[in-house]
Structure 1
Amino acid sequence: MSIEEKIAQLTSIFVDDLIENGDFSEAKAEQLIKHGIGQISRVAGSKLGFRPREVAKIVNKIQKFLIEKTRLGIPAIVHEECLSGLMGPSVVMFPIPLALASTWDPDLVKNVAEKIREQALLVGVKHCLSPVLDLCRDPRWGRCEETFGEDHNLVAAMGIAYVRGLQGNGDRVYVVATAKHFAAHGVPEGGRNIASVNIGVREFRNIHLYPFEAVVKLAKLKSIMPAYHEIDGIPCHANDELLTKVLRYEWRFDGIVVSDYWGVRMLNTVHRVAKSCKEAAILALSAGVDIELPHNDCFKELVEAVKKREIPEELLDRSVERVLYVKYLLGLFDNPYVDEARVPETIDGHSYRELAREVARKSIVLLKNDGVLPLPKSNIKIAVIGPLADNPFAMLGDYHYASHIGLVQPDIHIVSVLEGIRNKVDPSSVVYAKGCEIQTSDLNMLNEAIAIASKADVVVVVVGDISCIFDKNRCTSGEGIDRTDLSLTKPQEELVKSISNLGKPVVLVVIAGRPMSLENVQKDVKAILWCWKLGAEGGNAIADILFGDYSPSGRLPVSLPRSSGQLPVYYSRRPSSFGEYIEMPSKPLYPFGYGLSYTEFRYTNINVEPLEVPIAGEIKISVEVENIGRYEADEVIQIYIARTYNSVALPVKELKAFKRVTLKPGERRKVMFKIPTQLLAFYNRDTKLVIEPGKYKVLVGRNSEESIFETTIKIVGETIELKERNIFTAEAYIE
């Protein structure tokens, strides 16, 4: 391979640059990718709006050109955003990752990822830029909605399930998953996107690297993406200790490292650690970045750098080998084409919508219920009020196509809350008023809402976030949409209070993209349903809960603060973080793991053994759970471990195991847990991974603040140092 051909494999190009008059242009390709190309960026998610069948045709034409018209005939990897479904028009949308995490059901998350894989393969996408494994520990950060929550153990479990579902849980790799943003992107300074991350090495390794290490070792991850930020002055895209020492040498990662979009150039333009694009490319490649996305912006400068011996050609060879290896794993050298005849006009089948509705339903969290829910389906007049009630965009996260691209109208049918309610009951019994805009008040709208609500038996008020990327005038959540105030916007708070003053029972439905504070309104309403961005079937799922066809069973994967002034408010804080404020308690309004049900559960026959556990042993826990209410429902049993004394200060408690179980009225099931002591390992003063003996509390609870049972165990033996982690999740099963 020539130097130009090698570097071509380490670069990418936007599909838009290869399009003329709505179709692939061979003339442009001969000019731009004559030496081949590593990846093609965003065919499905292009702003040009290609439908699925058009995507497949364009992908085939690009591959045909590369194979037949370039000297080496190497096909390209086509990548796309896949966070909540394949990003593109006419593709059904699943709930956002925070909703997936709210199910506390890794098997369900794996099912979603398998469906996303199916969507991607239909159109020739072989590389998905997901999942996000950052921890949502500063909810001011607008990208919280892309995460699986605040807890590294929950994020790891969800990440493993997602990667296995997307890539395939065997020797063959169907679609490459990309874990991002490596690492600790969820704790930026001030909650501002891409800002500095200021954490110590032990917190970095114990908490933030944990989910990434888990998917590399247990799910055989094949792609990873560095984060935009810097840590202690070293940008992640130029951090050889992170991208080479930890990732390659310690974890033995054998996939590819792809830059975040324009992340290489930002070494020059944002971080100012490189004086030119060429210098940025040298830094990134030397650190361990294999491919520059989304365009050959800086890596093209490597041609000159190699010829001038500013960088050894062996570095190119190292990355080229990795890229070609992944292409081999994907089967691109055997057959890079897709069967266009199999591609539908829309990827919107019944199985997709059925799964989207199931996930949405299982993710909804009941925060409060003063006896008003579930609602009856007849002999009731319902007022549906709020700026998000009849807004399909309310159901979309920032990485759903319509909101990401900024379409005026959704590209596929999305069920709003109003439509979902009208699907469930006699439509003539439902009245609607908007009440306000998200960020602006309108007295006429407010008066109309008050008039309509005053004549209803119950009022469903739908408020929350609108998500997109970088549009601060339109949105309140998403990439580049960071906030200092986590309350509902003022017009929405005013609407809730005005309606509640009528004395009618008010059900508050919050459709959120990030953890928000409901401190100012939670006392004014009778019930609260917490709903994330629930995708195409969100409105139907919410109606299923409102009218009792399904008992709410979601559990919060984050803590909901009382105020922005409390932050950080995640549950697994260290022992010294016990101080109280003048204005309010230090604890969140609703804790991590919290969620109510329409039924009641009774825990009995809880057993923990042995009480003295060998240093390299396991803790066995059994719990019997009985549904003593009137509704079939799911309970999520949560096991926390609280530490007493260790050689370094560690979180006072951490989630170590969980299991979701479905119970009919009167049904009782026994749930078993096995927690290896390796899950208690941490990095000590010398940054060695160790398990220390001592006393630990085992807490069986419904959430991080409410323990049903606790007992003390003792880990016995001498401190042992582990060469590496190889266990990341506990075993949980139902007898």
Structure 2
Amino acid sequence: MTAPRYRDPAAPVPERVHDLLGRMTLAEKVGQLNQRMYGWDAYERAGDGHRLTDSFRAEVAAFGGMGALYGLQRADAWSGVGFADGLDARDGARTAATVQRYVTENTRLGIPVLLVEEMPHGHQALDGTVLPVNLAAGATWDPGLYADAVAGAAAELRARGAHVALVSALDLVRDPRWGRSEECFAEDPYLAARMTEALVEGAGRAGVAVVLKHFAGQGATTGGRNSAATELGVRELHEVHLAAARAGVAAGAAGLMAAYNEFDGLPCVASRYLLTELLREEWGFEGVVMADGTAVDRLVRLTGDPVAAGALALDAGCDLSLWDDCFPRLGEAVERALVSEAAVDTAVARVLALKFRLGLFEQPLPDDRSATGALPDPAELGERVARASVTLLAHEGGVLPLSRSVRRIAVLGPNADSVARQTGDYTAPQRPGAGVTVLDGIRAAAAPGTEVLHGRGCALVGEDVTDVAAAVALAAGSDVAVLVLGGSSARSADTAFDVNGAAVTGAGTPSDMTCGEGVDLADLALPPAQRALWSAVSATGTPVVVVLVQGRPHALPGVEAPAAAVLSAWYPGPAGGRAVAEVLFGDVEPRGRLPVSVPRSAAQLPVYYNGKDHRYRGYVDQSAGPLHAFGHGLSYTSVAYGAPRLSRTRVGADAPHLTCRVTVRNTGSRPAEETVQLYVRRLSGGTSWPRVRELRGFVRLSIAPGDAADAVFEVGPETLASVGRDLRLVVEPGTVEVETGPASDRTRGARLEITDSESATT
């Protein structure tokens, strides 16, 4: 008897998919689109190990299989999973194998299940490596380093039996009041696109498929409110919010997750324009589209009927649900002629194709000989990302780097000695005693005999200043005070959660959470007690260095005695305190650059650098510009930029080749780690109102004291392209300025005329 074609690994994937689809019942097809179950409900503790639950077996039996299982190894306050009952590094692969073995051996067709895990900044599992959050990765402006770190984290995920990583990448920080700002790479589409490419490439090295979140425009929700509507026009969507998705698709992303927000009156999961016309028909995307958690169920408000809600999402282009009750009823939708079985087949084919491409039919169980040994240590790479992300925002008086002759250092503030507050949202519990806080890092880095004093000073939130006086006393007798302030996305057992895992905010906002999913702010200023501590310590006359551990840019206070230096460490990960200390003592140069503008106050939002150039004059009562501009970041040396130089060369009949060069000289006494930025500013021509300027390239230079180096940029169609009238990328004739500099507000330009003959669609 001839073996089924779908079991033949030598057969082309489309043939295997076609053969398998032809053997499936409607119920089995619907089962392949089912991701209803929480993974942590699939197992339970049994003695020293774990066993599958009856509810898991019932879910498999109900559909003759299971398309995907989300979060088998997820651990956090929402899932309620911890070290007492969860899957650690030892048990993770073993339980994944048990799940896979049960599904393949107890269903008619033996189709393996996709094991889907959160990997927002490392695998969100017990003993999983935690990387710095995306905003910190964006601050490195180093896609190569980030790709290496992702590869290591993805190898951990794959070794524990998972196949698909869910990673935020597509949202932009257009309003930093949004609690999920930490999940974004930047406010800028170009930088986000380059980091998204790196993410997909790095995960691919470990054989992990990536589903990119969230498609599309979620970072533009009104008022910075989570999951709210957007007021985007289609041009703004294309010019700003689709660049990272386009780059991720081109890089080989396996899937996209439809966002919660609505676009043009429809939730993204119900938008046929986004999920089918644009993504599939125009971009040619062949991967899967996944709904965000319970997003399909929300469509019942539109349809009045859960069966019709599932049909609406499927017809729009959604292939795989998440935790909802509507999609598992697609069989009823077919019977009621709300959707065709052919439409179900199309979605199932995409899910099956992903399983075939991942090799699950040939290797359904975790392989102990996976690529983990061939890839670098993700924990070490995470620390490298943390070092590269620390951004020196302000520096007066030469206090930094700290001298090792300093004999007394006061380390103060609510974030000085907390690993949890360094890790960000979507983080699994850490082993007791693990991690390096800023206080730990400074103690280890200081010279022997240095007295390092610690005082909390105040709580993270609220107005209680009871402990400020004790902190002031420590600072007054010290050579320098390091004040560690900022925010926290750390969840706890008493955090209240929505059905999708977002923190419940409002009257009863979780204490000590100032950031994270569901934790949006109206005011970006630091909490009152933190501001009081800053002012009081600054008033002592002791030099003050402020380190901000944060998941969003906070508006910084004006104090009578400003700090000698201000650094942003973002959420640098569990061992991030060591990275901060190395920068403070000058063991490494500060090389982070802002991936987002720092506002003066929430009242001036939006403040992103690449708004439309309407020649607005500003507010009467305060500046309309940011406190620190996108791309800003200081170093311990000084550099001088020359003017950009454009040159054209023509080889044979080829189009002219355009290059931009700028010379950067290190005029100081320490090594320079300089990120040279290339911007384009349209002066005339084009089919839409121009933006102030747009990032189109960056190069990092390492320059010894007294030396100079050239940053060289190839200025091709991708550099000069803009969105034309038909919403496609095109190089339009007109006058543009190609600008270079160390930040978006410190550039010098060279004018370039683009003729009709040089314009083209990209």
Q: 1:516 to 1:160 in 2, by over 3 A?
A: same
Offset of residue 339 of structure 1: 3.9
Q: 1:143 to 1:523 in 2, by over 3 A?
A: farther
C-alpha distance in 2 between matches for 1:418 and 1:69? 53
Kept in 2, the 8 Å contact 1:513–1:533? The answer is: yes
Offset of residue 632 of structure 1: 2.3
1:389 paired residue number: 416
Q: 1:359 aligns with which of 385, 400, 403?
A: 385
Offset of residue 615 of structure 1: 12
C-alpha distance in 2 between matches for 1:587 and 1:254? 42
1:374 paired residue number: 401
Q: 1:412 to 1:265 in 2, by over 3 A?
A: farther
**Following superposition of structure 1 onto structure 2, how do residues 193-204 of structure 1 map, counting pairs within 5 Å?**
193-204=226-237
Q: 2:331 aligns with which of 278, 299, 303?
A: 303
Kept in 2, the 8 Å contact 1:615–1:719? The answer is: no
C-alpha distance in 1 between matches for 2:600 and 2:615? 17
C-alpha distance in 1 between matches for 2:698 and 2:547? 27
Kept in 2, the 8 Å contact 1:616–1:678? The answer is: no
Residue segments in structure 1 that go unaligned for 5+ positions in a row = 403-408, 726-735
Q: 1:665 aligns with which of 691, 705, 714?
A: 705
C-alpha distance in 2 between matches for 1:16 and 1:400? 15
Q: 1:532 to 1:656 in 2, by over 3 A?
A: same
Kept in 1, the 8 Å contact 2:503–2:519? The answer is: yes
1:732 paired residue number: none
1:333 paired residue number: 361
Q: 1:180 to 1:494 in 2, by over 3 A?
A: same
In the alignment, residue 672 of structure 1 is paired with which amino acid? V
Q: 1:220 to 1:579 in 2, by over 3 A?
A: same
In the alignment, residue 34 of structure 2 is paired with which amino acid? T
SS in 2 for 1:623: strand
Offset of residue 380 of structure 1: 2.0
2:680 paired residue number: 641
Q: Does 2:741 match 1:701?
A: yes
1:571 paired residue number: 609
SS in 1 for 2:743: coil
Q: 1:431 aligns with which of 446, 450, 453?
A: 453
C-alpha distance in 2 between matches for 1:581 and 1:186? 25
In the alignment, residue 579 of structure 1 is paired with which amino acid? R
Kept in 1, the 8 Å contact 2:172–2:192? The answer is: yes
2:594 paired residue number: 556
C-alpha distance in 2 between matches for 1:443 and 1:494? 7
Kept in 1, the 8 Å contact 2:155–2:370? The answer is: no
C-alpha distance in 2 between matches for 1:592 and 1:616? 33
C-alpha distance in 1 between matches for 2:138 and 2:28? 43
Kept in 2, the 8 Å contact 1:636–1:661? The answer is: yes
In the alignment, residue 691 of structure 1 is paired with which amino acid? V
Kept in 1, the 8 Å contact 2:167–2:213? The answer is: yes
C-alpha distance in 2 between matches for 1:37 and 1:544? 48
Q: 1:672 to 1:580 in 2, by over 3 A?
A: same
Kept in 2, the 8 Å contact 1:102–1:555? The answer is: yes
Kept in 2, the 8 Å contact 1:24–1:62? The answer is: no
C-alpha distance in 1 between matches for 2:253 and 2:605? 33
Offset of residue 609 of structure 1: 1.6
2:750 paired residue number: 711
Q: TM-score, normalised by structure 1?
A: 0.92
Q: Does 2:39 match 1:15?
A: yes
Q: 1:672 to 1:526 in 2, by over 3 A?
A: same
1:447 paired residue number: 469
C-alpha distance in 1 between matches for 2:336 and 2:677? 59
2:669 paired residue number: 630
In the alignment, residue 749 of structure 2 is paired with which amino acid? E
C-alpha distance in 2 between matches for 1:103 and 1:61? 40
Kept in 2, the 8 Å contact 1:356–1:536? The answer is: no
Offset of residue 299 of structure 1: 1.1
In the alignment, residue 191 of structure 2 is paired with which amino acid? L
User: Once the two structures are aligned, what percentage of the paired residues are identical?
Assistant: 37
1:266 paired residue number: 298
SS in 1 for 2:377: helix
2:243 paired residue number: 210
C-alpha distance in 1 between matches for 2:728 and 2:543? 57
Offset of residue 602 of structure 1: 3.1
1:44 paired residue number: 73
Question: In the TM superposition, what whole-angstrom CA distance separates every residue of 1:160-204 from its partner, at most 9, and x where no partner exists?
Answer: 111111123xxxx81111111100100101110000011111111
Q: Does 2:272 match 1:240?
A: yes
Residue segments in structure 2 that go unaligned for 5+ positions in a row = 1-23, 491-501
Q: CA RMSD of the aligned region, Å? A: 2.3
C-alpha distance in 1 between matches for 2:677 and 2:560? 26
Q: 1:616 to 1:8 in 2, by over 3 A?
A: farther
**Following superposition of structure 1 onto structure 2, how do residues 59-98 of structure 1 map, counting pairs within 5 Å?**
59-98=96-135
Q: TM-score, normalised by structure 2?
A: 0.89
Question: In the TM superposition, what whole-angstrom CA distance separates every residue of 1:256-290 from its partner, at most 9, and x where no partner exists?
Answer: 1111111111112xxx2121221211111111110
C-alpha distance in 2 between matches for 1:183 and 1:230? 9
Offset of residue 675 of structure 1: 1.8
Q: Does 2:441 match 1:420?
A: yes
In the alignment, residue 364 of structure 1 is paired with which amino acid? V
SS in 2 for 1:129: strand
Offset of residue 611 of structure 1: 10
SS in 2 for 1:696: strand
C-alpha distance in 2 between matches for 1:410 and 1:148? 28
2:222 paired residue number: 189
Kept in 2, the 8 Å contact 1:615–1:717? The answer is: no
2:152 paired residue number: 115
Offset of residue 422 of structure 1: 0.5
Offset of residue 254 of structure 1: 1.0
- Bigger CA drift: 616-625 or 27-36? 616-625
Q: Does 2:28 match 1:5?
A: yes
Q: Does 2:502 match 1:476?
A: no
Offset of residue 444 of structure 1: 3.5
Kept in 2, the 8 Å contact 1:66–1:74? The answer is: yes
Question: In the TM superposition, what whole-angstrom CA distance separates every residue of 1:86-119 from its partner, at most 9, and x where no partner exists?
Answer: 1111122111111111111111111111112111
In the alignment, residue 361 of structure 1 is paired with which amino acid? R
C-alpha distance in 1 between matches for 2:729 and 2:465? 61
2:639 paired residue number: 601
SS in 2 for 1:702: strand
SS in 1 for 2:144: helix
In the alignment, residue 24 of structure 1 is paired with which amino acid? R
Q: 1:50 to 1:412 in 2, by over 3 A?
A: farther
**Following superposition of structure 1 onto structure 2, how do residues 507-546 of structure 1 map, counting pairs within 5 Å?**
507-521=545-559, 524-546=562-584
Offset of residue 720 of structure 1: 4.7
Offset of residue 296 of structure 1: 5.2
Q: 1:226 to 1:513 in 2, by over 3 A?
A: same
In the alignment, residue 419 of structure 1 is paired with which amino acid? D
Kept in 2, the 8 Å contact 1:228–1:235? The answer is: yes
Offset of residue 424 of structure 1: 0.7
C-alpha distance in 2 between matches for 1:188 and 1:640? 26
1:730 paired residue number: none
C-alpha distance in 2 between matches for 1:504 and 1:615? 63
C-alpha distance in 2 between matches for 1:213 and 1:552? 32
Q: 1:106 to 1:412 in 2, by over 3 A?
A: farther
In the alignment, residue 537 of structure 1 is paired with which amino acid? A
Kept in 2, the 8 Å contact 1:435–1:442? The answer is: no
Q: 1:521 to 1:163 in 2, by over 3 A?
A: farther
C-alpha distance in 2 between matches for 1:550 and 1:457? 22
1:731 paired residue number: none
C-alpha distance in 2 between matches for 1:615 and 1:189? 47
